[in-house]
Chain A
């Protein structure tokens, strides 16, 4: 069992707090993604697992072992860095073998492992080359190979695809995910890219900078779709999804309806009543762009219809993104490619699917209680 536990971990650099009271469990063999904007402490959390940083307070466990004060080399973890961090003066084979040589592994065992990793990653032809003679994708594979041959209990990835172009990033994303499934090794992957987070991880931990997370880093942890469909707070709702979720303010009428800009909308039946939705209570309503459809009420009960001026149209081929100014505020709608009839500068009508509304407390920014 090689799960990872953060137990009330805090970390400060020169007195500046970066991680505060982090409690998090990564399960054995799980692919966990730490995602968040710059300064949210995701890389610091990864470095804490690696042992490259020591927490100011709290404990870190790998498996049953408290590794808080254990040296990196004794933690049985391997890390892939954003910049690949290959040794420029060594060949590919030497780069891959270096960690094993340091551990005084027999030469024939080293050769066998290097060969195996090279075959797995398609590096056989490049073993004698130096890193500068390789493309970005090949370098990334060497960095992976260097981690793989160690056969560690935990893999750590620190934004490994950031330096690759979009096409290669897609390929490597799939390769890393496939590799992790095949090796079934506990993996923590740090990224700021929500596509990587949504597509690669078994679970995602969304982290926020302390000032935006109201003094804590961990905003929500769970399966990708669970976070997307039921964000626990405004931060997660805004961070996951592109274009990001639309928000507008409303006031509870007390009869399971909300008033907004002179319009009335129904509260989704999943939301519980009670004090949270007492009359006069302000509510922040969120709706994802893909849950806004073009045109007036289609006859289905519960559609919330708003009209507004089309400011910008982004035609992406497979879909069209429309930016509208409406009485309830700016709304972004993700429409099918053939969304005809829309023109910049003209009015358009959208129907917001009120079954898909997300309700948040404007003060705490937490999701309002639901009946699940």
Chain B
């Protein structure tokens, strides 16, 4: 495409990119500003148009790592990150371990309740989590006595993620030619070994996507975690971050720095799995 000929289109696209990136750049600037203020520049007593424009630019007056160091020093942020990592990691592991064999069974075997089961899995995805909040709280806190515990939260996340994971993986297992498995049967391979040595390696891209989805969902989840977790030591990162900005406090600098740190593990996971993502 010739730029000189299509410059209005390019200009429009650049404007849209700027619009999309502006909040992110603002958060980055806020994190590195070293202050807890939401504004990045102090306006003079009689500001000009240029002063207003300069203040709107997501560029701090001075660069500092103070918000990052303060976050680590003043708050148990690393512990929150650790809690998030434990809950998300275990949720992902549990989701994959449960969903892989379940999806394989739904894909390959015919059994009573197969269609109904798949349909119910789908139905369960139609309702927002808040609808299930009360029963989940009773089950986890009252019945299982796992309230205010990472295990309880992990259990809830894994249970709510499993249906989606099963659907995702079943769809992929359906695309693996049945002849490959029949060929293995002729070679004398048992069903469990076919699943383990033939099907799972072939389903790696789907497992990677499903794992990424599970991890991200658990990592970013806030509502359930905020309800289930009471003790500050048990907070996950999103819950901890949320309480940095409340009716009584407004540590925007810490909040921005925390937001950047929270996004790093997901980005790292994405890069680690990207060769398996189609």
Contact = CB atoms under 8 A, between A and B. Distances in A.
Interface of A: 50, 52, 72-73, 77-79, 81-83, 85-89, 98-99, 102-103, 146, 150
B8 interface: no
B113 to A, nearest CB: 17
Contacts of A89: 201-202
Contacts of B179: 81-83, 85
Interface string B188-204: 11000100001001100
**Residues of B in contact with A, size category:** 10 to 19
A150 B186 CA distance: 10
A85 B202 contact: no
A36 to B, nearest CB: 20
A81 B183 contact: yes
B182 interface: yes
B43 interface: no
Interface string B155-184: 000000000000000000000010110111
Given A85-B182, A89-B201, A99-B187, 10 more contacts: A72-B186, A73-B187, A73-B188, A85-B183, A87-B180, A88-B202, A89-B202, A99-B188, A102-B189, A102-B193
Contact of B198 (A72, A81, A87): A87
Rank and list the top 5 A-B pairs by shortest CB-CB distance, nearest first.
A99-B187, A73-B188, A85-B183, A85-B179, A81-B179
Contact of A52 (B177, B182, B187, B189): B182
Given A81-B179, A85-B177, A102 B187 contact: yes
Contact of B182 (A81, A86, A88): A81
A79 B188 contact: no
A323 to B, nearest CB: 40
Contact of B187 (A82, A83, A98): A98
A59 to B, nearest CB: 21
B269 interface: no
A88 B179 CA distance: 12
A50 B184 CA distance: 12
The listed residue with most B CB atoms (<10 A of its CB), out of A79, A85, A99, is A85
